[in-house]
Amino acid sequence: MMPAMEATSHQSPQGARRGLIAGAALLATGLLWGLANAARPLPLPRDLPPARREPGRRIPFDGLSNMRDLGGYRTADGRSVRWGVLYRSDHLARLSARDLRRLRQLDLAVLIDFRTSAERNAAPDRLPPGHSIRVVELPLFEHDVDGVMSSSLRERIERGDLDGLDAAAMMIDANRRLATEFTPSYRRFIQEVLAADGAPVLFHCTAGKDRTGFAAAIVLRLLGVPEESIVADYLRSNAYSLAAHRRDLLLLRLMWGPAASALVRGLLGVDQAYLRAAFEAIDREYGSFEAYVRDGLGLGPAEIARLRAALLEG
């Protein structure tokens, strides 16, 4: 029997033409499928049947690993956070053309960026052309020279100078500072969410886990979501953001050793102790979360009622 390759080389002109036509048809079919798939609307949680919303909480983007809807969390009084009004994510610098179309589907009114100016300059957010999103910059750790956001820490890791570096201790300290030093920024954040009056808001930092995680925690707590659900949302970053860095951590381990890899893994992840440290700092500084809301965030009963009316249902 003639080998397949040899048989192809001795095809008749008619057979070759038929092969070319069939190949062109397959190519055209593939292109049409690709175009149809690219134009297909993103299934947002708000548009899914109720039973499918929770599994679809994380919204798939090519250039985002930690993008999710904060809807669906039940409150102590039996209501729940509306789907499609509060989104949290990592930075938007790596969005693909398809992502830009997906981002437009969110109908965002406000985008809040907690990154420093250096972070924004290094990785500017990509937004859809001609968008009408109001961008609010609330830089946290802008002048931090030795902390977890600093270039000096990155330089030490690259040099292998790890003496005295404790990832958990650094993250706990950073979260305490979020709850105390940066209260004016979080006051502005809540005011922006309140002013949106239920229109969709997206807030993010670089990885979408610490500055963004604390922001999500305080707004959910203001809405009356129980601590268990708040912590569960906070810890989702380990499944989303940390998982996206598995390859980077492996390379880091090969290049700089297991100690450097373990340190960076600790900095890239979240832990319940980090969030607990933030709320304990609030209790020490203000006496209670209620006092923090009143004296730190500047919210009275009327503002809290407005926030809940805009963001809750049921």
Q: Which one of the listed residues 205, 268, 297, 312 is annotated catalytic?
A: 205
Asked if 81 is an active-site residue, the reply is no
Find the helix or strand (DSSP H, E) in which 104 lies. helix 97-105
Number of residues that this document lists for the chain:
314
Task: Of 204, 220, 223, give the one whose Cα is nearest residue 212.
Answer: 204
Whole-angstrom CA distances from 124 to 85, 113, 204, 209 are 24, 11, 13, 18
| CA distance linking residue 68 with residue 71, whole number of Å | 9
- What does R_g of the chain's alpha carbons equal in angstroms? 24
Q: Which residues contact 237 (CB under 8 A, 6 or more apart)?
A: 66, 207, 208, 209, 213, 269, 270
Whole-angstrom CA distances from 53 to 71, 98, 204 are 9, 22, 22
- Name the burial class of residue 308, with classes exposed (0-12), middle (13-18) and buried (19+) by CB atoms within 10 angstroms of its CB: middle
Report CA dihedral (20, 22, 25, 26) to the nearest 10 degrees.
-110
| CA distance linking residue 102 with residue 106, whole number of Å | 7
Task: Of 193, 257, 251, 250, give the one whose Cα is nearest residue 222.
Answer: 193
DSSP string, 207-240: SSSSHHHHHHHHHHHHTT--HHHHHHHHHHHIII
Helix (H/G/I), strand (E/B), else coil: 313:
strand
Show which residues are catalytic: 205
